[in-house]
Amino acid sequence: MDIIKNNASGLSGLEQLHAIIAENTPPPINVTLGFTLVEVEEGRAVFEGSPDRSVYNPIGSVHGGYAATLLDSACGCAVHSKLTAEQGYTTLELKVAYHRPLNDMSGPVRAEGRIVSIGRRTAFSEARLTDRNGRLCATATSTLLIFPIERPATTG
C-alpha cells in the first residue's frame, strides 16, 4: 500500500505512518534523498539517513536543505501521528539552526521530532538532528496548519 492509498484508506495518521514502516513504502522524497522513517508513536517520529556526495553543495559539505528536509519530515510526521483520517497538515513555518556541518562520513544521521503543542487548527513541533556519534548537527521548530481533508463522495 503506497502513501496515497494509505491517505485515502481511512487510516489515522499514526496508522498511515505504521503502514509506511511495515510495508516499506516511503513517499518519493524519502527515496530521492535516501532517508527512512524508522520509528513512530503518538507525538513522535524519527527519520534516519546517510548523506552522501549526491547531496553536497559547492563548498564540499552536505547542503543545508538535506538537514532541513529531515527536520521538516520529523516535525511534520510527529504531528501527522496525532491526526485522524479526516485531517491533513502542512508546514506554515520551519526555523532551522545549524550547529555543525554534515559530510558523507556523518551518517547515519537521526532526526527526532516531537510535538510541543497541538490544537484544532495549528500544531507546534521541534526536532533535533544528530550524527552517527550523537553530536547535535541541527535543530528546528515548526508551525503546522491542520485542515480537514475533503474526500470524494462514494456512490453506491
- Asked if residue 112 is part of any domain, the answer here is yes
- Starting at the edge strand found earlier in the chain, the sheet holding 87-98 runs 35-41, 44-49, 109-118, 122-130, 136-148, 87-98
How many domains is the chain partitioned into structurally? 1
Residue 153 lies in a domain: no
Chain length of the chain: 156
In a domain, 56, yes or no: yes
C-alpha cell at 33: 534523498
Confidence (pLDDT) at 150: 78
Provide the grid cell at 150. 475533503
pTM of the complete model beyond 0.85: yes
Query: Is residue 43 a contact partner of residue 112, using CB atoms and an 8 Å limit?
Result: no
Query: Is residue 115 included in any domain, yes or no?
Result: yes
**Inside any domain, residue 139:** yes
Q: What is the pLDDT of residue 35?
A: 96
Distances (CA, A) of 8 to 49, 87, 130, 150: 27, 11, 34, 10
**CATH at residue 50:** 3.10.129.10
Averaged over successive runs of 10 residues, the pLDDT of the chain (156 residues) comes to: 56 96 93 95 98 95 97 98 97 98 95 98 98 98 95 61
Q: Per the domain annotation, does 155 fall within a domain?
A: no
Assigned domain for 154 exists:
no
- C-alpha 87: how far from its chain's center? 17
Structural domain including 29 reads 3-148
